Chain A
Amino acid sequence: AQTVTQSQPEMSVQEAETVTLSCTYDTSESNYYLFWYKQPPSRQMILVIRQEAYKQQNATENRFSVNFQKAAKSFSLKISDSQLGDTAMYFCALGGNEKLTFGTGTRLTIIP
């Protein structure tokens, strides 16, 4: 069975600062993908970034980057220069080419 753990239920940070959201996972698969999804108050699920397990290079999408530590089964999300629009629930997810297993989420609040 696959599991995803997010140990930070809530976080807050001042606008323009950097914040890191933690995620650990467990899987017996050798080939898998990891994702971060953002769910703003509208409840829309928006893909933020993805990482292929076979790639050592950490994925980056503009202000969003990940720190993927395969041996430690860790997949953290770093948001640089945080903006008010980043306020949302963030879900870490494991899967790829099949169903996703989600963590319980981290509620991130950006403070003006």
Chain B
Amino acid sequence: AAGVIQSPRHLIKEKRETATLKCYPIPRHDTVYWYQQGPGQDPQFLISFYEKMQSDKGSIPDRFSAQQFSDYHSELNMSSLELGDSALYFCASSSPGTGGPEAFFGQGTRLTVV
């Protein structure tokens, strides 16, 4: 079965650079979530989209932005990167209307800021 695809899997950036993370949800899933997991921490919700519209917002810095495109893939744009942005970034998708409430996670993008 198709899963959530995230790219790239690993990313190394320098401070003050920009990064773009991509997420391709499971086909027919209409909701995408982004989470940030720092070292030794639990995942923290950043932002979500339902049918290409932002549906909820968590502790996402103003330096970050995200959107969901017409093909339902989503991108998380991160600017002016800081050392503290180093983390594992997960994308998850679900289909509350038809598939149930559970979110299925991608394998994550490991971002290292140096």
**Chain A interface residues (CB < 8 Å from chain B):** 33, 35, 37, 42-47, 50, 91, 95-105
Contacts and interface: CB of A to CB of B under 8 A. Distances in A.
B27 interface: no
Interface in B18-32: none
A99 B108 contact: no
A26 to B, nearest CB: 16
30 contacts: A33-B101, A37-B105, A43-B88, A43-B107, A43-B108, A43-B110, A44-B105, A44-B107, A44-B108, A45-B105, A45-B108, A47-B103, A47-B104, A47-B105, A50-B100, A50-B102, A95-B101, A95-B103, A96-B101, A97-B96, A97-B101, A98-B56, A99-B33, A99-B56, A100-B33, A100-B43, A100-B103, A101-B45, A102-B42, A104-B41
- Residue of B45, B56, B90 ringed by the most chain A CB atoms within 10 A: B45
Contact of A105 (B42, B58, B104, B107): B42
Contacts of B56: 98-99
- Sorted from nearest, which 5 A-B pairs have the closest CB atoms? A96-B101, A45-B105, A102-B42, A97-B96, A99-B45
| Chain B residues touching A, majority SS | strand
Contacts, number: 58
Contacts of A96: 96, 101-102
Contacts of B37: 43
Contacts of A44: 105, 107-108
A103 B42 CA distance: 7
Nearest to B110: A43
B53 to A, nearest CB: 14
Contacts of A100: 33, 35, 43, 45, 92, 103
A102 B94 CA distance: 17
Contacts of B108: 43-45
A75 B105 CA distance: 22
A79 to B, nearest CB: 19
